[in-house]
Amino acid sequence: MFNDNDKDFFTELAPKSFYGFRFNPDTGNLDVEIINDGVTPVVLPDDNVIDKYDYKQWFWTQGTLRFQWGNSGHLQVKLV
């Protein structure tokens, strides 16, 4: 559970956008989920439960990001 010391951590995340990466094993798609409306909850994977649809990677940022495919087929992220 969270305690009073955690409130500063969550206050710092409040004005930021969440970017979560999921691999959909049914379709083979890489889904990038962006949450920045201040209402939608972010549900991170539970370390004790394996779910094939969970986020594989995630981060928060105040900057605006642009995703594009590089010439070698790798996903590139650029800070706009």
**Where residue 1 falls among pLDDT bands split at 50, 70, 90?**
very low
Reported as a pLDDT band with limits 50, 70 and 90, residue 63 is: confident
Question: Whole-model pTM?
Answer: 0.73
Q: Which residues contact 13 (CB under 8 A, 6 or more apart)?
A: 60
Q: Is the pLDDT of residue 49 over 50?
A: yes
DSSP E strand stretches across the chain: 17-23, 30-35, 55-61, 65-69, 75-79
Average pLDDT of the residues of the chain: 84
**pLDDT greater at residue 19 or residue 63:** 19
- φ and ψ at 29, to 5 degrees? -80, 145
d(CA 61, CA 67): 14
